Amino acid sequence: MLTHFDIVTMLRYGDIMAQQRMLPARSATTIGQTIKALRREQGLTQAQLAAEAHVSRPWLIGVERGTGARSELHLVLRVFDVLRAPLFAVPLTESGDRT
């Protein structure tokens, strides 16, 4: 029986298939850290990512720090779309293992 879901971000599709690279995103802080890491990996500045995702740079800074009081889910998802890193919910077993 599943007791909860683990929200993870999966990096570029090619990376997923080659490396099965998944990052747990269980809090605002880890989601922000993931966005920051992906942004840097892709060589984007905060201003560039904010412009492409149609969000403000101060908003993005708050999300990356995990302190964004106004981190609306649809905007966070838009940022992940720009980074080509969709979010997936992966069910966990009672022991915490992925199914």
Domains and CATH numbers, the chain: 5-89 (1.10.260.40)
Residue 58 confidence class, pLDDT cut points 50, 70, 90: very high
What Å distances lie between residue 5 and 1, 17, 33, 67, 91, CA to CA?
12, 21, 20, 23, 5
CA distance 45 to 36: 10
Record the pTM. Answer: 0.64
User: Which of 56-62's residues contact partners 24+ apart within 8 Å by CB, and which partners?
Assistant: 60/35
Query: Comparing 39 with 19, which gets the higher pLDDT?
Result: 39
Q: Residue 8: in which H helix or E strand, if any?
A: strand 5-10
Q: In this model, does residue 92 exceed pLDDT 80?
A: no
What per-residue confidence (pLDDT) applies to 46? 97
CA distance 77 to 75: 5
What per-residue confidence (pLDDT) applies to 99? 52
